[in-house]
Amino acid sequence: MDCGDEAVVFVAAARTPVGSFNGALSTLHAHELASVVIKELLERTKIDPKEVSEVILGQVLTAGAGQNPARQASVGAGIPYVIPAWSCQILCGSGLKAVCLGAQAIMTGDSSIVVAGGMENMSKAPHVIHLRSGVKMGETSLQDTIIVDGLTDAFHCYHMGITAENVAKQWEVTRKEQDQQAVMSQNKAENAQKGGYFDKEIVPVVVPSRRGPTEVKADEHPRHGCNLETVAKLKPCFITDGTGTVTAANASGINDGAAAVILMKKSEAVKRNLIPLAQIVSSAQVGVDPSVMGIAPVTAIKKAVEKAGWTLDQVDLYEINEAFAAVGVAITKETCNN
């Protein structure tokens, strides 16, 4: 990607707290959560909503969310109707893909200021049933859109947990390694939370209720006091014949939340006296066999690093989506051992 004053930079980033499944944020729609974040970003940067070129938000579970949830989020944040907004969907990578698309729009000159990010309220994902032509005979059942649209591979019909088991088997990741990774992750999140390291990035969300509004300002998901002894006692969730290794503890949670950034060229940031938080140097996306979907970052990381003109050992920190601990360990083995 271009460097110098033409480089695309982040000038602001924020997120809601991460709400637990059916937790404190469960009554709000995903677009309402995103509106809170977008409004905060505009206030922090003193950008007039009319100056935004477009809003791009990733979202996976859109059933029942209404037309163009990203546009609902944009308008809800005070951005005028005349500013376009749209959603993208590439499952777990949706929010990050939105950021890449925003950067590309700026690089091509189609946009100058882009709000990009992701939003999800898994607690509000509905159960559905196909009754368009009626039920001629027998029973029919509801389908959980979290499972159907979000957590089931459309090609092999594997639950995502099974794909993690496949990765664990193929890359020889043990149950102990997964549990150690999970405990380390939880402990780090707990320490960061207690140390106030998340405070600047979190935008408190006011949740209305019959008892009056409640302000939610802390992540609900981190399990404080998580330890290896307790985690090791949990039974596998997806393969229960004694060979399974993926449990509720070493798999990611079902959560609600939203996050976004504001993108612009470095020259635009300088003009506005905004200090860039980071610069986009390169990006990459790849596809892999869905049966081992979680290993895809290995190829993507190598491709992105190569495009940047770097080597793997020149990167100080890799942030990897922890869909499952098995995936994190396998990617580390393949990519980051150096």
Q: What is the pLDDT of residue 1?
A: 47
Cα(224)–Cα(218) distance, rounded to whole angstroms?
A: 13
Q: What is the pLDDT of residue 278?
A: 97
Locate 186 and state its tokens: 């939880």
With H, G, I as helix, E, B as strand and everything else as coil, classify residue 225.
coil
Give the model confidence (pLDDT) of 147-171 as tens digits: 999 999 999 999 999 999 999 999 9
The vertex-222 CA angle with 326 and 194, nearest 5°, equals 130
Cα(57)–Cα(43) distance, rounded to whole angstroms?
A: 19
Q: What is the pLDDT of residue 3?
A: 58
From start to end of 51-162, where are the E strands? 54-58, 85-88, 114-121, 127-128, 143-144
User: Which of 95, 152, 173 lies closest to 290, judged by CA?
Assistant: 152
Q: In sequence order, what are the residues at sequence separation of 6 or more whose Cβ sits closer than 8 angstroms to the Cβ of residue 160?
A: 151, 152, 153, 293, 323, 324
The helix (H) or strand (E) run that includes residue 200 is: none
With H, G, I as helix, E, B as strand and everything else as coil, classify residue 258.
strand
List the chain residues with pLDDT less than 70. Answer: 1-4, 337-338
Q: Are 250 and 218 in contact (CB under 8 A)?
A: no
Q: Are 259 and 205 in contact (CB under 8 A)?
A: no
Locate 211 and state its tokens: 């008892």
Q: What is the pLDDT of residue 2?
A: 44
Cα(153)–Cα(288) distance, rounded to whole angstroms?
A: 12
Locate 35 and state its tokens: 């509106």
Cα(44)–Cα(273) distance, rounded to whole angstroms?
A: 12
Cα–chain center distance at 231: 24
Helical ranges in the chain per DSSP H: 30-45, 69-76, 94-107, 145, 160-170, 175-194, 228-231, 266-271, 296-308, 325-331
Whether the CA torsion 263, 266, 270, 271 is positive or negative: it is negative
User: Which of 271, 261, 268, 236 lies closest to 250, judged by CA?
Assistant: 236
The whole-model pTM stands at 0.96
Q: How far is CA 1 from CA 10, 41, 270, 320, in A?
A: 14, 25, 19, 22
Q: How far is CA 130 from CA 62, 135, 138, in A?
A: 17, 9, 14
User: Which of 165, 178, 177 lies closest to 294, judged by CA?
Assistant: 165
Q: Give strand pairing partners of 92.
A: 90
Cα(47)–Cα(43) distance, rounded to whole angstroms?
A: 7
Q: What is the pLDDT of residue 336?
A: 72
Cα(268)–Cα(6) distance, rounded to whole angstroms?
A: 9
With H, G, I as helix, E, B as strand and everything else as coil, classify residue 73.
helix
